[in-house]
Amino acid sequence: MISPKFIVEKLHAHSFIKAVAITDHNTMQGYAEVRRLAASYRDLTIIPGVEMSTRSGDFILLGVEEEPSYTSTVWEAADFAKARGGVIVIPHPYRIGGIGDLAEKIPADAIEVINPTATKRENKMAQELAKMKNLPGIAGSDAHVPLQMWTAYTEVSADLDIDEILKAIRKGWVKPVLADAMI
């Protein structure tokens, strides 16, 4: 429920957030529109992403522009991701809509350890999972409406470049931050 135009304008106006991952559920159409609009600005980086709805819960893939043709099991989603070299993020593993204990088994590149729509306890469990799997912890705003934008973000030590950002996420050069909305 956030228009591509709104995202691009707010990103441009933001004092320090200059990159976003667009992770609509099961579609790349919103991403394509955001990327198109962002092309008029020099300072914005739009990371392709998708949040795949699987039978077991949500699964995020970053860095791949191809729309997944199916979204049945989380294992198939992981296969789709691996075959295309994307960055797998397990979002809100212990919140409703998360993949729960399956997160221990699914191969991933990062765990979303801060999600403002999850409880403190659910985020804490996600943090413990990241530690156990020895994976980087990142933050996602999970923004569905404008007020949720920037409620969490990830500081990434990388240039404003999609490949550099994805590489930095894999390497763990990240710091998840829970913030107040600053829209």
Residues near Zn ion (CB under 5 A) are 58, 91, 97
Smallest distance from Zn ion to CB 59, Å:
9
Pick between residue 115 and residue 158 the one whose CB is nearest to Zn ion: 115
Question: Minimum distance between the CB of residue 97 and Zn ion, rounded to whole angstroms?
Answer: 5
* Residue with Cβ nearer Zn ion (58 or 122): 58
Asked if 126 contacts 93 with a C-beta cutoff of 8 angstroms, the reply is yes
- Is the Cβ–Cβ distance between 151 and 116 less than 8 Å? yes
Least distance (Å) from Zn ion to the CB of residue 95? 8
Q: Are 125 and 100 in contact (CB under 8 A)?
A: no
Q: Minimum distance between the CB of residue 115 and Zn ion, rounded to whole angstroms?
A: 8
Which amino acid, 93?
A: P
**From residue 170, how far is each of 90, 108, 113, 133, 148 by CA, in Å?**
13, 10, 15, 13, 26
- Between 18 and 144, CB nearer to Zn ion: 144
Residue of this chain nearest to Zn ion (CB atom): 58
- Alpha-carbon dihedral angle through residues 8, 10, 14, 18, given to the nearest 10 degrees: -20
Residue type, 4: P
Rank residues 12 and 73 by Cβ distance to Zn ion and give the closer one: 73
